[in-house]
Amino acid sequence: MSVLLRTRVTEIGPEVADLAEGGVVILFADGSPPELAEVSVLHKAETAPSDDAPTKGASIAIGGITATITAVGTAAWAKVRDIGHVVINFNGASEAERPGEICADAIDPQALIAELRTGAIIVFAAARR
């Protein structure tokens, strides 16, 4: 498994659970503006984002749950590298609706909410060949 990004959750915004209920998680690096922090999972990279973006078939793990990436927006990984920001939509879409979005298989929202906590590890890993 080739790790594309390994990051640790530092803070959970007060509105994160509401978004996660709908299958959406917004990541933003520590130091985000306060109005964005309210809806974001703040994080600090332990392994810097790779130059290579994830592709369809790559994986994202949040704590103990893992989903397969189904689509990557054209600007999503550049935003991860530049400001630690990305919208992850667990909707199983084959095409990202927005350029800054990564889509992944649908997962149980309650399981997702349970894993979103301070100290949790988030890992993006390349697809196996």
**Which pLDDT tens digit goes with each residue over 93-116?**
999 999 999 999 999 999 999 999
pTM of the model: 0.95
| Banded model confidence at residue 55, pLDDT cuts 50, 70, 90 | very high
The three-point CA angle 109-9-74 to 5° equals: 75
Q: How far, in Å, CA of 37 to CA of 29, rounded?
A: 9
Note the pLDDT of residue 46: 96
Kindly report the number of other CB atoms within 10 A of residue 31's CB atom.
10
Is the Cβ–Cβ distance between 41 and 25 less than 8 Å? yes
The three-point CA angle 64-25-9 to 5° equals: 55
Residue 128 has pLDDT above 80, yes or no: no
Architecture of domain 3-121: Beta Barrel (2.40)
**Hey, where are the domains in the chain?**
3-121
β-pairing, 3-12 vs 121-125, is antiparallel
**Which pLDDT tens digit goes with each residue over 19-34?**
999 999 999 999 888 8
Note the pLDDT of residue 129: 65
